[in-house]
Amino acid sequence: MENSANLIQVNAFDGKYLINESYRPIARALVEKYPELRHILVNSILFVEDTVSTKKKNGKVVFAQIGPIPEKWNDILFQMTGRSFDFMLEVFKVNTSVMSREQIIALIYHELRHIDLDGKVIGHDIEDWLNMVEKLGINWGSTQSTIPNILAEGVDWDSITGPPTLFPEFKLSVVK
């Protein structure tokens, strides 16, 4: 990682928000493997863990979120580190603490898909929902689910066939 020497690291910091570079190699490997992510500049993402919150939205657990970094915080980060970031990918550690490695990788994949070709963050849509559910199942992020490691050798997104549906004679699809 370029300019990594410029990142300020405080040993034994136990605050609510922690910079966690462990997600960067996962994101980098996903971008290298999956063509739909190739436009993403992984070095422009700040990876942060919220170590305390149990975030929910509309009654559902939120595992992670990605969004642009506000200009003032980006300016402060640049002054302190010499690095500029366009996005912050925030993982809610309490909510993801029981996820498997495979689920974390799928979660990072899911969050990266929110960055469009123009470098803007787009919200969830039916195609996004179908993409994850069709391949990994409706509970892909829960402890009830065992999913493939989408970074494993020989596993590619198009070859993944999801779990059988409740009504196998029907297939979900997007109508345009």
| pLDDT confidence of residue 164 | 55
| pLDDT confidence of residue 8 | 59
Evaluate whether 49 touches 97 at the Cβ level (below 8 Å): no
Average pLDDT value over all residues in the chain: 80
| pLDDT confidence of residue 69 | 92
> Is a pLDDT exceeding 50 seen at residue 117?
yes
What is the C-alpha separation between 34 and 147, in angstroms, rounded? 17
Evaluate whether 136 touches 105 at the Cβ level (below 8 Å): no
Q: Could you tell me the pTM of the whole model?
A: 0.78
Kindly report, residue by residue over 46-66, the tens digit of the pLDDT: 999 999 888 888 888 888 999
Query: What distance lies between CA 119 and its chain's CA centroid?
Result: 15
Express as a percent the part of the chain with pLDDT over 90: 30
Kindly report, residue by residue over 123-167, the tens digit of the pLDDT: 876 556 666 777 776 767 765 667 777 787 766 666 666 655 544
